[in-house]
Amino acid sequence: MKHLKIPDDLSKYKKSLEAKHRPDTTRIFICTTGCRALGAEEVCKAFKDEITKQSLAGKIEMVETGCQGLCTRAPVLTIEPLGIFYGRATETDVPEIISRTIQKGEVIDRLCYSEAGKRIPYVRDIPFYSKQKKIVLKNCGSIDPRNINEYILRDGYAAFAKVLTSMTQEKVIDEIKNSGLRGRGGAGYPTGIKWEAVRKVQGDIKYMVCNGDEGDPGAFMDRAVLEGDPHAVIEGMLIGAYAIGSQKGFIYVRAEYPIAVEHLKIAIEQAKSLGLLGNNILGSNFSFDLDIKMGAGAFVCGEETALIASIEGKRGMPRPRPPYPATSGIWGKPTNINNVETFANVPVIFLKGSEWYKAIGTESSKGTKIFALAGNVKNTGLVEVPMGTTLREIVFDIGGGIPGRKKFKAAQMGGPSGGCVPAQHLDLPIDYETVKEVGAIMGSGGLIVMDDSTSMVEIARYFMEFCQDESCGKCVPCRIGTKRMLDILTRITKGEGTKEDIGLLKELAEVTKTASLCGLGQTAANPVLSTIRYCLNEYEELIDKKGSQSSTQQTPVTQP
């Protein structure tokens, strides 16, 4: 692999890769990350064996990709340049796919996506895909994430080279500020303002950190990006590091994400080999190195100060702020922390311009948002839509609606820290401010759909159990408040509740929300408050009827 010594070497390298491209080659893109659980690796091996058996090497190429989005049809694959999508393929389907589809151009109906009894063979016509707008996910499912050359062929690292050769730190930050990019980790804090604060702090050592400690039940947005397009995150971090004056970065990722860790390690080594990480990058005075830090599975480490403590080798527990990480972060040095999706947005802003980016979304929430669509919906999977898209469009137009003859009841947004959004708000345009007004939060992007058989009291109890279990216990309001709320919710679902419990729940929720040290405790009460707000009758019915076995159905929130 060539070591790039000057910025112009990157464009020359890209041209050399383009010269090797063979347009007559059929490429089969198969998800081998999340789809592994349903036999994708076996299907991939069967393809490779059949290609060898029929001496088709050079004519057919297998590309092992990250998540292609439509997880409910796993394992999934697309065939280019035909543009055909097949789902739930097995090893026995492989010879037929090669002989009929690739060699004869015929469609195999049983493998196609279907809707209302109609077979839809082409990706461009499947509503799940056609109604999305992919910016962050543009490469996921379309490249081999373990091959840096495929990222470079799609303009990878061109944005970083542009920044390095033609922009000052101030101009980089101004461009991010003008784009309106806000942190995708949940709070929605303006990214440019965050970068600017760290840049202004004096100090020879500054740290750039990517928060990949995704812990919400049912959420897998960050995991999919790290698995499917790790170089986009690295490039975003490089641009951010240049802007704030950092020479050292960490990607903090859950140890429960072994494929993400594997792909990140490969990506970092490849970037170093090409000279895109390390000392005097592309012949400049800018140096930046990157390490992976694996978290031990503590949900609270998603909070910035707890994450910092974990990187330092301490127990992951939050601390009071101020001082904020911008002035005193890792080992007391200025530290900037953004999540995976935030960094993955950065390169495209510099390739296409902040004006292009801010034309997408709403007045206060620019760009797109990725959601992990799970629960009682036909098409579970990974969805990217412009900010301002309604809940109805996501659940029904993209998600395909509710299975069977059930009706939509509510969606839990923002995971354990979020709240339920009931059917009356289906036409809610999803952005940071609007979602907050109805008692939920954007969060990192978990979106769990519930049908009319779901008990909202049980949902509140489920998420409270999660928050109580994940509380670090450092502050009394969170440690005791979550435990007491869980006790009351459990009592109500068992048929042992009293009318006074609802008032007590609200009081405990408000105190926990107001007095807790960090975001975990401050938002843990959201599911309780939102379900009481919109589904008070369910609480009252359970108390009046002294509980019901049928009321304890739990909506699945496992990752598709």
Per DSSP, the residues of 490-531 read HHHHTT---THHHHHHHHHHHHHHHH-SSHHHHHHTHHHHHH
Is the pLDDT score of 555 beyond 80? Answer: no
> How far apart, in whole angstroms, are the C-alpha atoms of residue 443 and residue 523?
10
Q: Round the average pLDDT of the chain to a whole number and report it.
A: 94
Q: Can you give the pLDDT at residue 548?
A: 46
Q: Which two tokens stand for residue 343?
A: 């960094």
Diameter over CA atoms, the chain: 75
Integer Cα distance of 343 and 329 in angstroms: 19
Angle at 76 between CA 74 and CA 82, to 5 degrees: 160
Contact 50, 95 (CB under 8 A): yes
The pLDDT value recorded for residue 443 is 80
Asked if residue 547 lies in contact with residue 494, where contact means CB atoms within 8 angstroms, the answer is: yes
Virtual CA dihedral for 148, 152, 157, 162, nearest 10 degrees? 160
Proportion of the chain above pLDDT 90, given as a percent: 88
Amino acid residing at 272? K
Q: How many CB atoms lie within 10 A of CB 297?
A: 13
Tokens representing 198?
């760290």
pTM, entire model: 0.95
Tell whether the model's pLDDT for residue 85 goes beyond 90.
yes
Rounded (5°) CA angle 77-83-86: 30
Which uninterrupted H or E stretch holds 212?
A: strand 207-212
Give the Cα separation of 243 and 179 in Å (integer).
15
Rounded CA-CA distance 3/361 in Å is: 39
Residue 222 vs residues 180, 252, 339, 423, 546: alpha-carbon distances, Å = 21, 11, 8, 28, 42
Of the pLDDT bands very low, low, confident and very high (cuts 50, 70, 90), residue 551 is very low
Q: Considering only CA atoms, which of 105, 519, 39, 545 is closest in space to residue 307?
A: 519
Q: Rounded to an integer, what distance in angstroms lies between the CA atom of residue 489 and that of residue 492?
A: 5
User: For residue 444, is pLDDT > 90?
Assistant: no
What are the backbone dihedrals phi and psi of residue 482, each rounded to the nearest 5 degrees, phi first?
-65, -35
**Model pLDDT for residues 179-238, shown as the tens digit of each residue:** 999 999 877 899 999 999 999 999 999 999 999 999 888 889 999 999 999 999 999 999
pLDDT given at position 550? 40
Give CA angle at 495 (491, 496), nearest 5°: 50
CA angle 532, 535, 537 (to 5 degrees): 100
- Closest alpha carbon to 158 in 353, 350, 354, 355: 350
Residue 43, by phi and psi: left (phi above 0), alpha (psi -120 to 50) or beta?
Answer: alpha
In the chain, what are the domains? Answer: 23-126 (3.40.30.10), 156-354 (3.40.50.11540), 368-451 (3.10.20.600), 456-552 (1.20.1440.230)
How crowded is residue 116: how many other Cβ atoms within 10 Å of its Cβ?
6
pLDDT band at 545 (very low <50, low <70, confident <90, very high): confident
Determine the Cα–Cα distance for residues 470 and 306; give it in Å rounded to an integer.
13
Q: Does 247 or 415 have the greater pLDDT score?
A: 247
Which H/E stretch holds residue 466? Answer: helix 456-470
Closest CA to 173 of 259, 75, 240: 240
- Apex CA 326: angle with CA 167 and CA 194, to 5°? 50
Tell me the per-residue pLDDT of 306-346, one tens digit each, with 9 for 90 and over.
999 999 999 999 999 999 999 999 999 999 999 999 999 99
> Is residue 557's pLDDT more than 80?
no
The token pair that represents 214 in the structure block: 């995704």
CB neighbours of 525 closer than 8 A, spacing ≥ 6?
481, 485, 508, 509, 510, 512, 513
Cα separation of the two ends of the chain: 37
pLDDT at 419 over 60: yes
Alpha-carbon separation of residue 127 from 26, 122, 394 (angstroms): 25, 10, 10
Spatial contact of 302 and 215, defined as CB atoms under 8 Å apart: yes
Distance between CA atoms of residues 352 and 180, nearest Å:
14
Distance separating alpha carbons of residues 173 and 179, to the nearest angstrom: 10
3-state class (DSSP) for residue 143: coil
Q: Who has greater pLDDT, 275 or 441?
A: 275
> 546 falls in which pLDDT band (50, 70, 90)?
low
Taking 50 as the threshold, does the pLDDT of residue 556 lie above it?
Answer: no
Task: Give dist(CA 316, CA 64) in Å, integer.
Answer: 35
Query: In one letter, which amino acid is 353?
Result: G
Token output for 542: 């359970």
